[in-house]
Structure formats: structure tokens, C-alpha cells
Amino acid sequence: MMSIYLKILRNEFKTLLRAKWVIGYGLIFLLLTDSLFRFAGDGTEVWVSVSNIMLLLIPMISLIYGILYIYQSRDYLELLLTQPVSRSALFWGLYTGISAPLTVAFLVGSILPLAWHGGLTEGTGSPLFLVLGLGSLLTFIFVGLGFVMGLWFYDDKIKGFGFSIIIWLFMAVIYDGLIMVIIFLLGDYPLETGIIAITMLNPMDLARIMILIEFDISALMGYTGAVFNRFFGTAMASVLSVTMLSLWLIVPSWTGLRLFSRKDF
């Protein structure tokens, strides 16, 4: 099983890493990061800006490509399933073989400008690794969600793409708006614990807040920033944050595996 998984992973990784759109994806981050180093100032300002772009672009691209791969590779999947291969090995090989090239493109595109601009200044090392780590993690999370949508709506591409866009819009835009409405309407009540719990249900929000706290700019978020700073500054919050992000990594991939294993292709 492991040898089959590695063969599928290696094949997908090599194929996608040479794909023009993956190279273009990496070039987007390279050009953006390079431009920010040239015009935005020091390393801290650059990585805060990169993180803002990352939190919108990575989930969208990963989610769309995850579902697009399922729809565009139907004949390929059906051919592989006629071979004596385990469905679980095939799923994990495809999942990691797609997520890894996207992650490599993001990391290379972000790190190369850092190397030639000398952006690793004192005090930015830990936040930098956090940004890169969260970007990589979000790639795997949203490719998994894309697989789930593609397998769930395998015979209805319009619904699959529609729900994928809705998921991204909800997590990227609408979710924060709903939290602000709750704070506005129920501001007279003690909402700290509830707001923190709600925030942890959205991996994009959780990653954003972890970055703001790490760069020590949570004051820009006002009252909620103070609440998050007080909570996320504790060791328990760090453990809980990592746990929630791990669940976001595990649940979509496990759900995708279940759907893939039971699907009648």
C-alpha cells in the first residue's frame, strides 16, 4: 500500500510541479513579495501584507483546484480504479500529490524574495515561519474541502463549484461580518468566550488572528483585538489553536476519504 501511495504521490507531484498554472501561482507570490520588499518597508510590514493576501488567495485557489481536479480527472480516476490498488492509497496519493506542489509554489514564491532582499530581520523569524506554516496548512485544508465538494457533487459540477465559492465567500467575508453584527447587537453582554469559540470554527479567521497576535499588531482590531490578545497570549490558547487547525486538516481529508471509498465511479 505504501509503495502504491508513494508512486501516485511522486507522479502527481512531478506532473503538477511542471504545470504552467502552478508555476504561475508561485510567480504571483514571488512578484507580490518582491514588490512589497521594494516598496512597503521593513520585513514586518511585508509579511503582514503577504499574510493578508495569503489568507484570501490560498484558500480560494486550493479549494477551486481541489474540486477542479476531481471533475477534470474522472477518466483518469476510473482507469486507476480498474487496477489492483487500494482506494485509500489512491486517495492519499492524489490528495498529497496535489497539495504538495501548491505548497511548494507558495513557499518558493514567498522565500526567494526574502533571500535576495535580506528580509529576515531581528524579531521576524518566528512570525515568518508562522506565516509560511499557516499558508501551507491552509493549502492542505482547502484542497481537502475541494475534494469533499467534488466527490459530494460528483455528477453536478454547477452545484459543486457553487457551494465551493459560497464556502470561500462565507469564510473570507461573511463570517467576519456576522461576528461584527453579533458584537454590535449583543455588546452589552459578556461575549468574549463566545466570540473566541465562534472564531475558532473558521480556519481563515483563526490563522489571521494568530498572525496578528504574533506580529503584535492586534491593537488594530480594537476591542476584539484586546480580547484575542488576552486569550491567545496564553499557552492553553496556543494548544487549542493548533488542535482546531489540526481538526480542520483531519476532518475534510477523512470525509473525502470516506466519500472516495464509498463512491461508485
Q: Torsions phi, psi of 40, nearest 5?
A: -95, -15
Better-predicted residue by pLDDT, 119 or 231: 231
Can you give the pLDDT at residue 14? 83
Cβ proximity of 179 and 165 under 8 Å: no
Would you call 50 exposed, middle or buried from its count of C-beta atoms within 10 A (0-12, 13-18, 19+)? Answer: buried
Instruction: Decide if pLDDT at 217 tops 80.
Output: no
Residue range 3-20, pLDDT digits in tens: 778 888 888 888 887 888
Better-predicted residue by pLDDT, 64 or 50: 64
Which domain, by its residues, includes 258? 2-262
Residue range 120-165, pLDDT digits in tens: 654 556 778 888 999 999 999 999 999 999 999 988 889 999 999 9
Cβ proximity of 47 and 133 under 8 Å: no
pTM of the model: 0.89
> In whole angstroms, what is the distance from residue 194 CA to residue 86 CA?
43
Instruction: Decide if pLDDT at 257 tops 90.
Output: yes
When divided into structural domains, the chain yields a total of 1
